[in-house]
A and B are shown apart, each in its own frame.
Chain A
Amino acid sequence: DGGITQSPKYLFRKEGQNVTLSCEQNLNHDAMYWYRQDPGQGLRLIYYSQIVNDFQKGDIAEGYSVSREKKESFPLTVTSAQKNPTAFYLCASSTGGRAYEQYFGPGTRLTVT
């Protein structure tokens, strides 16, 4: 089955700790994305990557970092600099650039206390 996997589904961390969210796809898509979802605010783009070893900041990149060393993988690190990290995080991928249909993973709910 082709698709996007995100792990873990639920993640709990103490304030001040960095945490890395996993995203893997076997769709052979070039582009991958990270979104943050908060109640009533829709999806906001954190980072995206259109090819391996290259990525760009989205609308709310502060306090986050990413890497794209393999086509299949696009991990997101939520750093201690992110002031309000508790949210639902969604990973997505597409065949081309940002305007193309995006396929989403099941999400990771991060709670920081």
Chain B
Amino acid sequence: AQSVTQLDSHVSVSEGTPVLLRCNYSSSYSPSLFWYVQHPNKGLQLLLKYTSAATLVKGINGFEAEFKKSETSFHLTKPSAHMSDAAEYFCVVSDFNNNDMRFGAGTRLTVKP
């Protein structure tokens, strides 16, 4: 069975500085990986996804993530944080062989002015 670990429950950055949200996964097969964002009291919105094509994936709002199989990681980055990026971010791993999807516990991103 697959699993995903988000290494930080809370990350705080200043506006205009880089963002790094860390995610490690475990999967027996070639996984698909996703990052979702959730603003307070809202549903989840897909930021980006990896499905065995290019290892560097670009998403919406300037976010990108790199799939590193050797490190079993899929960290989310953004060069310059904006106040509107403050939200909860979820890393998700899915496995088509098991027809399963698992969510990380989430990382809350705070952006300071």
Contact = CB atoms under 8 A, between A and B. Distances in A.
Interface of A: 4, 6, 9, 40-43, 88, 90, 92, 97-107, 109
Contacts of A109: 41
Interface string B28-57: 000010101000011111100100000000
B34 A40 contact: no
Name B's interface SS. strand
B61 interface: no
Interface of B: 9, 32, 34, 36, 41-46, 49, 90, 94-96, 98-101, 103-106
Contact of B106 (A40, A99, A102, A107): A40
A40 B96 CA distance: 27
B94 A43 contact: no
A11 B34 CA distance: 30
Q: Considering the complex of A and B, which 5 residue pairs feature the smallest CB-CB distances, nearest first?
A: A104-B43, A99-B94, A104-B44, A42-B105, A97-B99
Contacts of B45: 104
Contacts of B103: 42-43
Contact of B43 (A41, A42, A105): A105
A81 B37 CA distance: 32
A50 B41 CA distance: 27
Nearest to B108: A40
A98 B43 contact: no
B101 A99 contact: yes
Given A42-B103, A98-B101, A107 B41 contact: yes
